[in-house]
Amino acid sequence: MTTEAAYAELVSRLKRAHVLGTVNGLLGWDEQVNLPPDSADLRGEQLALLAELQHAVASDPRVGELLTLLDGQPGELAADQRVVLKCSRRDYDRVVKLPPEFVREKARHSSQTFHAWARCKAAADFAGYVPFLEKQLELAKQEAAYLGYAAAPYDYMIDRHDPGMTAAVIERLFAELTEGLVPFMREIVSSPVKARTGLFRGFPVEQQRAFLHAVTERLGFNYRRGRIDVSLHPFCEGSAADIRMTTRFDKDNPLDSLFSAIHETGHGMYEQGTRLEHQGTPLGQAVGMGVHESQSRLWENQVARSRPFWRFFEPRFRETFSAQLGAVSSDELYRAVNAVRPTLIRVDADEVTYNLHIILRFEIEKRLFAGTLAVQDLPTAWNALAQELLGLTPANDREGVLQDVHWSGGMFGYFPSYCLGNMMASQFWYKVHGDLTGLEEDFARGDFSRLLGWLRRNIHEQGRRHDTQELVKVVTGEPLTPKYLLRYLRERYGPLYRA
Ligand code: ZN
C-alpha cells in the first residue's frame, strides 16, 4: 500500500467518526432545545448507541494499522499530514486504552449522576449526592490509570481539556493571578462608585432576538452555516459546516441574552473559522477548551464590553428599545455593561470576579484528586474558599458546591479552561493591537473583519497544529501569563470604579 493511499484511507475513516460525532451533537442540541419532556428515554438510547458506534469507528484496529504504516514513512508526508498523523496517533492510543465495558459503565453512571445532581441541587441535599459523586471520582481516577496517569490523575483530567497543560503549570499561573486579582477586586468592592441595578424593564423577547441576531451577524457569525435558538443554559455545538448555538431571554435583563449570544458566537466563529476541507481531521478541530474559551471571552468581554463597540451599537440599541431606554444615560448603560458585583454563582459572575470562582474549583479538584479532601467534606472546604476568595458564604449547598453541572458528568479538570481562556484572550488582545493599528476605530464603525481575520489566520485555521501552551507562544511570542489579564482588567475597570 502506498503512503498516499494509506493516508487517504486514514482521513476517510477519521471523517466517518467525525460525521457520527456531528449526528450525536445534533441530537444533544435537539435534546436541550426541542425535546418533548417525555421523550428523554429514547433520546438517551439514541445518544448511547451513537456514542458506541463512534467509539467503534475511532478504535477500529484498521486505524491502528494505518497509523503504524504511516508512522514508518514520516519523510513522505507533508507538514500538514504530519500534524494529522501526530494528533490521530494520540487520539487513537487513548481511545483503545479504555475497555468498552468501562466506557459503558461511565456513560451509565454519568446519566444517573446527572439526574441525582439535578434532584439534590433542587433540594440543597448534598448528603444524597455524595455516593454518586464518590463513584464518579473513582471512575475518573480509574480512567486516568487506564491512560497511564495513575500517579497524576488530575493532570490527565486537565490534559483532556487542554492538551499539554498540567496542574503544576496552572497552579503557578493561578497563584500569580490571585495575588493581583484579590486586592483589585477589594478596591472595586469598596469603591463608592456602584453600577445602578434595575435599569432595564420590559424588553420584548422578539426585539431582543432581532437585535442580538444583527449584532452577532455583524461580528462575523455566518448564519448560512449556523443558527441560534433558546435553551436553559446557553451553549454552542457543532463544527464549521453547521453550528448550533443558544441563548436565553429575560424581559428584564436584555444584556444577559445579548452577552450570552456574543459569547457563544465567539465559540461558533472559532469553529466556522477552521477550514472546511479539513473537517473531520485534527486540522479542522479546536485545540481544546481553554483556547475555545479565549475566543468566546475575547468577543464577549474585550470587544463587546468596550466603548468603541457601544459607540457603534448604542444608537441601534436605543432605536430598537426607545421606550425602555429613555431614562437610561449612556454612562449608566456602559456601567451596567461593566458592572462588577461579587456573587456566589459562577454563571452570574462578572469578568473580574469570575476568575476567583475558577480558582476555588481548581483548589477543590486538586485536593480531591490528591486524596486530601473527601467528597463528604466538600461543602466545608467550598464554603471556606468562597469566604476567602469572594468574601461570601453560601447559605446552602445549592448556591455553593451543588451549583455546577460539570462533576456530575465526570468533567473534572474542565473548570481551569475558563480561566486559562480569560488569560489567553487578554494575551491575544494585546498582541492583535500590536499587530494591527486602528482596531478601535474599526469597532466604532461596526467593522470587526480585521480582528476576525487575524484570529482566523493565527488561531482558527491552525486547528490542532499546536497544543495549548505552544499556540500561545507561537501567536504572541511569549509563554502563557496572567499579566495581560491583570493589565486588561485594571485598564478597563480601574477608571470605571475610581471614586
Ligand atoms: Zn464558553
pLDDT tens-digit profile of 448-495?
Answer: 999 999 999 999 999 999 999 999 999 999 999 999 999 999 999 999
CB 96 within 8 A of CB 59: yes
Cα 79 from chain centroid (whole Å): 29
Burial per residue of 393-420, b for 16 or more beta-carbon CB atoms within 10 angstroms, e otherwise:
ebeebbbbbbbbeebbbbbbbbbbbbbb
Tell me how far the alpha carbon of residue 206 lies from the centroid of ligand 1, in angstroms: 24
Fold of 167-493: Neurolysin; domain 3 (1.10.1370)
pLDDT at 201: 95
> At a CB cut-off of 8 Å and minimum separation 6, what does 337 contact?
255, 304, 305, 310
Distances (CA, A) of 219 to 138, 216, 286: 44, 5, 20
Tell me how far the alpha carbon of residue 69 lies from the centroid of ligand 1, in angstroms: 38
Tell me how far the alpha carbon of residue 290 lies from the centroid of ligand 1, in angstroms: 9
Residue type, 229: D
Q: What whole-number distance in Å separates Cα of residue 47 and Cα of residue 28? A: 8
Tell me how far the alpha carbon of residue 11 lies from the centroid of ligand 1, in angstroms: 29
Element (H, E) at 341: none
**Strand, coil or helix: what is 239?**
strand
Tell me how far the alpha carbon of residue 468 lies from the centroid of ligand 1, in angstroms: 16
Q: What whole-number distance in Å separates Cα of residue 66 and Cα of residue 151? A: 31
Q: What whole-number distance in Å separates Cα of residue 221 and Cα of residue 85? A: 31
The DSSP call for residue 340 is -
pLDDT at 100: 82
Q: Which ranges of the chain have pLDDT less than 70?
A: 499
pLDDT at 159: 96
Among the listed residues 264, 300, 351, 365, the single catalytic one is: 264
Residue type, 384: A
Distances (CA, A) of 486 to 351, 425, 493: 11, 12, 10
Cell output for 125: 441535599
| Angle formed at CA 191 by CA 189 and CA 193, multiple of 5 degrees | 110
Q: At what angle do helices 378-390 and 354-370 cross, to 10 degrees?
A: 150
DSSP calls for 425-443: HHHHHHHHHHHSS-HHHHH
CB 117 within 8 A of CB 405: yes
Q: What whole-number distance in Å separates Cα of residue 146 and Cα of residue 96? A: 10
Distances (CA, A) of 24 to 66, 69, 115, 237: 26, 30, 20, 10
Torsion on CA atoms 350, 490, 476, 262, rounded to nearest 10: 30
Tell me how far the alpha carbon of residue 68 lies from the centroid of ligand 1, in angstroms: 36
Tell me how far the alpha carbon of residue 296 lies from the centroid of ligand 1, in angstroms: 6
Tell me how far the alpha carbon of residue 387 lies from the centroid of ligand 1, in angstroms: 26
Tell me how far the alpha carbon of residue 62 lies from the centroid of ligand 1, in angstroms: 36
pLDDT at 101: 86
Domain boundaries, the chain: 3-150, 167-493
pLDDT at 48: 82
Catalytic status, residue 264? yes
Name residue 236's beta-bridge partners: 245
Q: Of 369, 344, 367, whose CA–CA distance to 354 is shortest? A: 344
CB 35 within 8 A of CB 42: no
DSSP calls for 128-180: HHHHHHHHHHHHHHHHHHHTT-TT-HHHHHHHHHSTT--HHHHHHHHHHHHHH
**Strand, coil or helix: what is 391?**
coil
Element (H, E) at 115: helix 100-123
Q: Of 119, 92, 103, 95, whose CA–CA distance to 48 is shortest? A: 103
pLDDT at 499: 57
Tell me how far the alpha carbon of residue 77 lies from the centroid of ligand 1, in angstroms: 35
Distances (CA, A) of 15 to 4, 18, 288, 414, 484: 17, 5, 19, 26, 38
CB 246 within 8 A of CB 228: yes
Tell me how far the alpha carbon of residue 413 lies from the centroid of ligand 1, in angstroms: 15
Sheet strands side by side (includes 236-239) = 226-230, 242-247, 236-239
